[in-house]
């Protein structure tokens, strides 16, 4: 299946003599899509009534009028996409680029959108993923490899005041101190036997017992086996599950490599947004192509306060 970026690129290469024919075809397809969009059953997101009628278009989206509560709405009303001028097709492309780690500027250029528009869309997507994992924490079932990794703290996009605790770094710069220090942020991770992942940032140093308990305590049960490298902090879980020491935690180390590769490709992310990206990494690690559709369905169904 072609992507929106590929279609845009192909259209740009069409000879001038064929532009009118291409435009006619595209309009024909668009009208067909509008007809199919309007023919389906539509439920009012405000009162759940199915007594609705078409009522013009807003931001190039079909608008409906509810005969029960007399409110106007679109198919994106009440979702994170509410008020967006971009179509679901554009949203899905932004999701695909987010999953692939495409830089925001590159996505903006390819879709002919403003940088800020794509930035806001991306962070709405990340927010939805993060909130879904907060609402439904990934359970640690079976045998789970658990360990932490460390990423360089970043205040990307922020201008430092004169009295800031450190000097700004350039992209690709290293920490000023050797080893693990307060310049690094700890990311606690786990990979389950069922192929699910957990990644949560906690602080700037090794996690203590209470932090381990806060992240993993409600995810484990008496049948869970936590494999770790011997850090004493994990002993706090012994009342809830089995904790075993091993040096063979290759699966979770692979997840660590994935996180760092993604962050490096993005030239780092601001620490304030790190847990949003952690949620994304946990969602897409070892996932198949359907993950883009899964995330789109999540975004399309994520409810926000109605303003109509």
- What pLDDT score does 176 carry? 62
Tens of pLDDT, residue by residue over 56-95, are: 877 767 788 888 898 888 777 777 887 788 888 899 999 9
Spacing of C-alpha 5 from chain mean position = 20
Enter the tokens of residue 4: 């929106």
How far apart CA 120 and CA 126 sit, in angstroms, is 10
Is the pLDDT at 196 greater than 90? The verdict is yes
pLDDT(273) > 70: yes
For every residue of 114-183, DSSP letters joined together read -HHHHHHHHHHHHHHHHHHHHHSPPP--SEEEEEEEEEE---TT-PPPTT-SS----TTPPPSSSSS-TT
C-alpha dihedral (106, 112, 116, 120), degrees to nearest 10 = -90
Q: Where are the domains of the chain?
A: 86-136, 138-161+179-288
Tell which CATH architecture fits domain 86-136.
Orthogonal Bundle (1.10)
Around Cβ 244, how many Cβ atoms within 10 Å? 11
**Residue with the two structure tokens 């800031």:** 164
Rounded distance, CA 219 to CA 62, Å? 43
The whole-angstrom separation of Cα 239 and Cα 255 is 27
Considering only CA atoms, which of 30, 85, 28, 27 is closest in space to residue 58?
Answer: 85
Fold of 138-161+179-288: Nucleotidyltransferase; domain 5 (3.30.420)
Task: Say if residue 207 is exposed, middle or buried (CB neighbours under 10 Å; 0-12, 13-18, 19+).
Answer: buried
Alpha-carbon distance values, 62 to 56, 72, 98, 294 (Å) = 6, 10, 27, 24
User: Quick one: which of 151, 157, 87, 118 has its CA closest to 281?
Assistant: 151
pLDDT tens-digit map of 135-178: 999 999 999 999 999 988 877 767 777 676 667 666 666 666 66
Antiparallel, parallel or unpaired: β 72-74 and 61-66? antiparallel
Instruction: Kindly provide the residue ranges of all beta strands, DSSP E only, lying in the chain, ordered along the sequence.
Output: 52-58, 61-66, 72-74, 143-152, 184-191, 197-201, 225-228, 242-245
- From residue 87, give the alpha-carbon distance in Å to each of 58, 61, 120, 122, 300: 12, 8, 15, 14, 11
pTM here is: 0.78
Residues 6+ apart with CB under 8 A from 39: none
Tell whether the model's pLDDT for residue 253 goes beyond 80: yes
Instruction: Supply the pLDDT for residue 171.
Output: 66
Determine contact, residues 171/268, Cβ cutoff 8 Å. yes
Residue 149 bridge partners (DSSP) = 187
Retrieve residue 171's tokens.
């992209």
Instruction: Give the C-alpha separation, 130 to 124, whole Å.
Output: 10
Q: What's phi and psi for 46, nearest 5 deg?
A: -95, -45
- Whether the per-residue pLDDT at 251 is higher than 60: the answer is yes
What secondary structure does DSSP assign to 47-65, as a single string? T----EEEEEEETTEEEEE
Count of CA atoms in the C-beta half-sphere (13 A) of 26: 10
Q: Which two tokens stand for residue 53?
A: 């009628």
Q: Indicate if the pLDDT at residue 277 is higher than 50.
A: yes
């Amino acid at each position: 299946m072609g992507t929106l970026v590929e279609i845009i690129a192909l259209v740009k290469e069409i000879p001038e003599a064929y532009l009118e024919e291409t435009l006619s075809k595209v309009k024909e397809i668009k009208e067909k899509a509008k007809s199919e969009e309007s023919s389906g059953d539509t439920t009012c997101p405000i009162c759940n009534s199915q007594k609705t009628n078409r009522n013009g278009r807003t931001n190039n989206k079909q608008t409906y009028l509810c005969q029960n509560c007399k409110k106007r709405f679109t198919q994106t009303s009440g979702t994170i996409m509410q008020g967006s001028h971009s179509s679901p097709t554009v949203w899905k492309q932004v999701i695909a680029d987010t999953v692939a780690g495409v830089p925001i500027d590159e996505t903006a250029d390819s879709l002919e959108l403003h940088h800020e528009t794509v930035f806001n869309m991306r962070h709405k997507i990340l927010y939805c993923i993060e909130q879904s994992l907060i609402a439904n924490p990934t359970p640690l079932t079976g045998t789970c490899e658990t360990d932490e990794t460390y990423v360089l703290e970043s205040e990307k996009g922020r201008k430092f005041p004169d009295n800031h605790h450190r000097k700004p770094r350039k992209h690709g710069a290293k920490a000023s101190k050797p080893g693990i220090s307060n310049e690094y942020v700890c990311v606690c991770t786990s990979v389950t036997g069922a192929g699910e992942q957990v990644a949560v940032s906690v602080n700037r140093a090794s996690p203590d017992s209470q932090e381990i308990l806060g992240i993993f305590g409600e995810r484990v049960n008496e049948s869970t086996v936590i494999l770790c490298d011997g850090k004493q902090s994990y002993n706090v879980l012994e009342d809830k599950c089995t904790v075993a020491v091993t040096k063979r935690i290759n699966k979770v180390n692979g997840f660590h490599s994935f996180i760092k590769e993604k962050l490096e490709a993005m030239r780092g992310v601001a620490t304030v947004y790190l847990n949003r990206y952690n949620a994304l990494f946990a969602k897409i690690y070892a996932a198949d192509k359907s993950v883009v559709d899964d995330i789109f369905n999540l975004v399309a169904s994520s409810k926000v306060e109605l303003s109509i």
